[in-house]
């Protein structure tokens, strides 16, 4: 049976559009070494013109809203398309940081303590400090790439950040002081643990996308026991949230070497220098081999669908 064309979706309509365009181009070039590949620039909340689910399998690099929140996945399901990555329900879950944390805690993985709120119903700063302490993180509940993330300390800073929030759903969390880690999960198995050391002390949008502002250590120098604990927590979180094929799981490691889940990213950044590829290199997969493995389950689902229709 002839392989389908791999349709790489990039761009999108979210605040992470430019990041997605970079991911899409890198993945399309790598996938083209193994498959016939077509790169699509998605500019509206619809399937792109020229996409044909009868002959194409989707590898999406659409980050943020519409791409990661189940909306695109729902359109693909309705079209009968095969696509790599998480399905509708797990995408809807993992885009919501607070729901994700509650889900993984029920499975035995600790998560950072937080208070979700809407822009129209902000919490009282004094009450937040009483519950969570002085050192806090404020971030959107449904965005990636650290868009809108702020570290605050004390009442005056918290009130200033809250005053600047005008729309959307947000999360204020107790800040875990420790080491930031990221783990790629491929087909349910955790790969290498990457340590993130931003020179500014905060891994925000600028630290992620400005060359030289962050040091990455892969594999993270944690020791075998702690590495095993973090990898196991990543696999448990992945399974608890119903993820499939691949995802990136992020943690803060406390001074007591206990991992606290920050979020699960079902469609993470995918340039060769991104965190998921770093994690994969620790497991012996270069970028070309990684994207080939990431899309392979969708190709198998495509073939199974054709076989069942022929019966």
Which residues participate in catalysis according to the annotation? 16, 145, 209, 248, 250, 263, 265, 269
Rounded CA gap, 245 and 238, in Å? 10
- Nearest-angstrom CA–CA distance, 138 and 149: 6
Q: Is residue 46 within 8 Å of 17, Cβ to Cβ? A: no
Q: Which residues contact 241 (CB under 8 A, 6 or more apart)?
A: 90, 93, 94, 100, 103, 104, 264
Residue carrying the six token digits 């035995």: 108
**Distances in Å between the alpha carbon of 301 and those of 54, 93, 157, 305?**
12, 23, 50, 6
| CA atoms within 13 Å, Cβ hemisphere of 162 | 22
DSSP 3-state assignment of 40? strand
Q: DSSP per residue over 52-88, as a string? A: -TTTEEEEE---STTTSSSHHHHHHHHTT--BSS--H
Distance CA 109, CA 139 (A): 21
- β-pairing, 189-198 with 214-217? antiparallel
What is the strand order of the sheet 214-217 is part of? 214-217, 189-198, 178-186, 246-254, 259-265
């Amino acid at each position: 049976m002839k392989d389908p064309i791999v349709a790489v979706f990039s761009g999108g309509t979210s605040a992470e559009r430019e990041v997605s365009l970079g991911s899409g181009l890198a993945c399309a070039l790598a996938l083209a070494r193994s498959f016939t590949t077509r790169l699509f620039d998605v500019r509206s909340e619809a399937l792109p013109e020229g996409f044909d689910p009868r002959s194409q399998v989707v590898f999406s690099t659409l980050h943020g809203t519409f791409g990661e929140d189940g909306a695109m996945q729902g359109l693909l399901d309705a079209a009968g398309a095969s696509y790599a990555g998480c399905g509708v329900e797990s995408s809807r879950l993992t885009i919501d940081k607070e729901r994700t944390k509650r889900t993984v805690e029920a499975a035995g993985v600790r998560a950072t303590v937080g208070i979700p709120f809407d822009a129209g119903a902000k919490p009282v700063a004094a009450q937040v400090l009483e519950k969570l302490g002085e050192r806090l993180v404020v971030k959107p509940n449904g965005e990636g790439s650290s868009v809108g993330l702020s570290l605050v300390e004390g009442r005056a800073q918290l009130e200033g950040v809250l005053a600047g929030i005008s729309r959307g759903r947000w999360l204020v969390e107790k800040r875990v002081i420790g080491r930031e880690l990221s783990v790629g999960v491929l087909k349910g198995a955790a790969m290498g643990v990457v340590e993130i050391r931003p020179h500014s002390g905060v891994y925000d949008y600028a630290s992620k996308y400005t060359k030289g502002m962050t040091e990455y250590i892969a594999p993270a120098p944690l020791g075998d026991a702690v590495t095993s604990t973090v990898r196991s927590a990543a696999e448990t979180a992945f399974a608890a949230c119903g993820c499939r094929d691949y995802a990136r799981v992020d943690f803060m490691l406390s001074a007591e070497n206990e991992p606290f889940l920050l979020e699960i990213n079902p469609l993470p950044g995918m340039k060769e220098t991104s965190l998921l590829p770093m994690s994969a290199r620790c497991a012996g997969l270069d970028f070309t081999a990684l994207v080939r493995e990431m899309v392979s389950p969708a190709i198998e689902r495509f073939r199974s669908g054709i076989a069942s229709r022929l019966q």
